């Protein structure tokens, strides 16, 4: 009962704060919400089971490495926002920066798949909550949500979708806070009782396990959405809020791993989301219900975040010929086509590789910009660093083994 009370009270307190008019009205928070929503998507549900099954009790080390790597990739994109965007505007990225154009094509491909994928997971969670397994009904629900996003985006535009996204992210953060609070209480109780023993999930780290970790780069994907909010927020705001979103997401992931590993041994993991539900139930009986609701909010907010970024990408690549509002129905239509004509789960690996390819190409662009921008210090050293990052991202694209869990 105490654990349930702690979880519910924490969720309510965080929801009241995050969804308060003052916080929601802050432009800094609105600009942070989009990348944050995408970074903390379904990865919060699947990352611990997948990494623990792959590398055992080194899971938190693997997650820290992924977060660190994603922050470095984010640094390349932030560099391009600050120094590259003025060059693109003056010189024309399509002609003088062909790698930038290639990266956008890779990202657009990934976004179209990820939006449909997130909403397919959302439909699956909804049906699972009521005890149904009907693929046709799931496809219909996914298509309905896609149509709603397309229509609402056409009607209200970016800030209208941001409003929906803010509520979804706020509720998701409240539920995550409840999970962390209940797990913290469990750890404290075990320490006081002298029963706290860190989980020691056996496992020998092999090359395929490393490839799985590389493939899970998609788990911490999403920070790049700030790059495509140009015109809505100034460069410094996008740079600052992208960094803030990565810090918040990183703190959440690491805190969760640190607190949840203690019960991982009692609930053997195999990459299945259902195992995650069992795991949090050990902390508080109410958490499985809250986590199921959080999964729905997570998929909705992540899908909207990627739709927003994709619309910005389309507007930028067409030089304004297709405005952001018009792009939302286009994204919804392509998503519906994927849902009905393709098994989204079978091509999620392609989306993961496409994200890694985008980061690699953005690092190449950053190296080019470093050598050409007039006001960059230590240009050769910076360029070499970005090239090294590009090699790592290309390796993730080639060797990564993404799981079916997605982001």
* Mean pLDDT in residue range 183-201: 81
> Quick check: 341 pLDDT over 70?
yes
Evaluate the CA torsion angle 250, 63, 58, 199 in order and state its sign: positive
The pLDDT tens digits for 252-265 are 999 999 888 877 76
Residue pair 329/311 in contact by the 8 Å Cβ criterion: no
Q: Report whether pLDDT(23) > 70.
A: yes
Query: How does the average pLDDT of the chain come out, rounded?
Result: 81
Which of residues 84 and 37 earns the better pLDDT score?
A: 84
Class of residue 42 by CB neighbours under 10 A (exposed 0-12, middle 13-18, buried 19+)? buried
What percent of the residues of the chain are helix, what percent strand, and what percent coil, each to the nearest 5? 85, 0, 15
- Alpha-carbon distance of 45 to 118, in angstroms, equals 13
Asked if the model's pLDDT at residue 270 lies above 70, the reply is no
Q: Return the residue matching tokens 């079978």.
A: 346
Question: From CA 385, how far away is CA 363, in angstroms rounded?
Answer: 9
Residue with the bigger pLDDT between 288 and 359: it is 359
Q: Which of 39-43, 60-64, 229-233, 295-299 has the highest mean pLDDT?
A: 60-64
For residue 80, the cross-strand partners are none
Asked if 15 and 174 count as a contact pair (C-beta separation under 8 A), the reply is: yes
The residue with tokens 């049906």 is 127
Once rounded to an integer, what is the mean pLDDT over residues 188-197? 84
Better pLDDT: 131 or 260? 260
pLDDT at 275: 63
Task: Specify the DSSP element, H or E, that contains 34.
Answer: helix 27-39
State the pLDDT at residue 31: 86
pTM: 0.82
User: How much of the chain, in percent, has pLDDT values that exceed 70?
Assistant: 86
CA distance 296 to 394: 32
Residues in the chain, overall count: 407
Does pLDDT of 345 surpass 60?
A: no
Amino acid 114: pLDDT: 80
End-to-end CA distance of the chain: 33
Q: Is the pLDDT of residue 129 over 70?
A: no
Cβ-based neighbours of 65, under 8 Å, separated by 6 or more: 213
């Amino acid at each position: 009962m105490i654990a349930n009370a702690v979880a519910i009270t924490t969720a309510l307190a965080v929801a009241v704060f995050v969804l308060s008019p003052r916080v929601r009205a802050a432009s800094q928070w609105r600009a942070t919400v989009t990348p944050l929503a995408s970074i903390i998507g379904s990865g919060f549900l699947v990352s611990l089971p997948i990494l623990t099954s792959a590398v055992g009790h080194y899971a938190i080390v693997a997650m820290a490495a992924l977060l660190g790597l994603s922050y470095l990739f984010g640094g390349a994109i932030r560099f391009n926002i600050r120094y590259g965007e003025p060059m693109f505007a003056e010189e024309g990225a399509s002609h003088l920066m062909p790698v930038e154009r290639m990266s956008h094509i890779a990202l657009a491909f990934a976004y179209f798949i990820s939006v449909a994928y997130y909403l397919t997971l959302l439909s699956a969670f909804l049906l699972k909550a009521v005890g149904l397994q009907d693929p046709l009904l799931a496809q219909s629900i996914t298509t309905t949500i896609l149509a709603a996003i397309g229509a609402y985006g056409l009607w209200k535009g970016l800030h209208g979708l941001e409003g929906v996204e803010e509520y979804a992210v706020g509720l998701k953060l409240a539920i995550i806070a409840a999970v962390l609070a209940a797990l913290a209480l469990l750890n404290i109780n075990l320490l006081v009782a002298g029963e706290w023993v860190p989980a020691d999930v056996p496992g020998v780290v092999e090359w395929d396990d490393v490839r799985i970790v590389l493939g899970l780069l998609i788990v911490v994907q999403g920070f790049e959405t700030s790059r495509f909010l140009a015109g809505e927020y100034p460069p410094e705001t996008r740079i600052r809020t992208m960094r803030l979103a990565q810090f918040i997401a990183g703190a959440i992931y690491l805190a969760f791993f640190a607190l949840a590993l203690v019960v991982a041994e009692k609930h053997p993991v195999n990459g299945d989301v259902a195992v995650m539900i069992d795991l949090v139930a050990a902390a508080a009986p109410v958490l499985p219900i809250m986590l199921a609701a959080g999964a729905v909010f997570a998929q909705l907010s992540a899908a909207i975040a990627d739709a927003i970024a994709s619309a910005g990408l389309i507007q930028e690549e067409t030089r304004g010929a297709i405005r952001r509002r018009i792009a939302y129905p286009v994204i919804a239509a392509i998503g519906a086509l994927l849902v009905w004509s393709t098994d989204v789960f079978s091509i999620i690996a392609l989306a993961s590789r496409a994200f890694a390819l985008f980061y690699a190409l953005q690092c190449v662009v950053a190296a080019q910009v470093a050598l050409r921008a007039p006001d960059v210090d230590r240009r050769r050293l910076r360029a070499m660093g970005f090239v090294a990052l590009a090699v790592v991202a290309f390796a993730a694209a080639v060797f990564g083994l993404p799981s079916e869990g997605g982001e």
